[in-house]
Amino acid sequence: MVPLGLIAGFFVTALLYAAVGFGGGSTYAALLALSGLDYRLLPLIALACNIVVVTGGTIRFARAGVTPWRGALLLTALAAPVAFLGGLIPIAREDFLLLLGASLLLTGATMLLPVAPDTAGQPTRAARYMPLIAAPLGYLAGLVGIGGGIFLAPLLHLTRWRDARAIAATASLFILVNSLFGLAGQLLKQGPQVFGQAIAGGLPLLLAVAVGGQIGSLMAVRSLPQRLIRWLTAALVIWVGAKLLLGL
């Protein structure tokens, strides 16, 4: 039986992450690690939860016509195959938890970076090099069970790659596709039986992130200021990452 505290943690994580346009995969994996679950199952559940949270956002962005398809598809196409390879790579428990904890701390730091105002049409020179970072982010995403958009979006903002809504749409698509490819790699590595057990056992968590993600999406446009939501998310991520690393 899944503890109520873990379900609540997944709900809050999905709510906060969805409110700022992300999926929450790294924090889901860390919460599962802290709960004592077999680390090999963490990416399976975390990536599945990621997919549940960002699918709706990706569809909404596409319907609103704000997704910059040419640039977003280029970044995603470069990252997704490497995310699949990352999901296939066996990794020791200590290395996995170290990478996950470090990813969380870096994630928290990126959440604290200021978001540039909408300055579409005025990208910096560095913006043209953004495709070069897509593959490394994709590999990390598949390896530790995250989407990678949490790292991509701040870089896109800093280089003024597109306006804020287009960047959010790009990050959402990036997370969704990387999560699908990373999950496919994990499925081949772990086998369908293990995948089925992980998803069946994690069903209450999937339901929690589905509800939390929907509420978070509404909060993004109707309620709390984005800066406050980002700070709350950063505080959660840094706390979980530090706790995970201190437990190694």
The pLDDT > 90 percentage for the chain reads 37
- Are 86 and 233 a contacting pair, CB within 8 Å? no
| pLDDT average, residue stretch 150-175 | 86
What is the model's pLDDT at position 161? 92
What pTM does this model have? 0.88
Identify the residue whose tokens are 């699908």: 180
Q: How would you label 2-33 residue by residue, b for 16+ Cβ within 10 Å and e otherwise? A: eeeebbebbbbbbbbbbbbbbbbbbbbbbbbb
Is residue 222 over pLDDT 80? no
pLDDT score, position 116: 55
CB 136 within 8 A of CB 106: no
Q: Residues 6-65: pLDDT tens digits?
A: 999 999 999 988 877 788 888 898 899 899 888 888 899 999 999 999 998 888 888 889
The predicted structure's pLDDT at residue 215: 87
Mean confidence (pLDDT) of the chain: 87
What confidence score (pLDDT) does residue 5 get? Answer: 92
- Distance CA(100)–CA(88), nearest Å, equals 16
pLDDT band at 180 (very low <50, low <70, confident <90, very high): very high
pLDDT of residue 195: 87
pLDDT in tens, 182-192: 999 999 998 88
Dmax over Cα atoms in the chain, in whole Å?
A: 52
What does the DSSP 8-state code read for residue 198? H
Q: What is the pLDDT of residues 68-125, one digit of tens each?
A: 999 999 999 999 999 999 999 988 889 988 988 888 898 788 778 776 555 445 888 8
Q: What is the pLDDT of residue 177?
A: 96
Q: Where are the domains of the chain?
A: 4-246
| Rounded Cα gap, residues 128 and 172, in angstroms | 20
Mean pLDDT of the region 226-247: 83
191-198: which pairs have CB atoms within 8 A and are 24 or more residues apart? Answer: 194/40, 194/41, 194/44, 195/44, 197/41, 198/41, 198/44, 198/45, 198/48
The number of CA neighbours under 13 Å toward the Cβ of 7 is 13
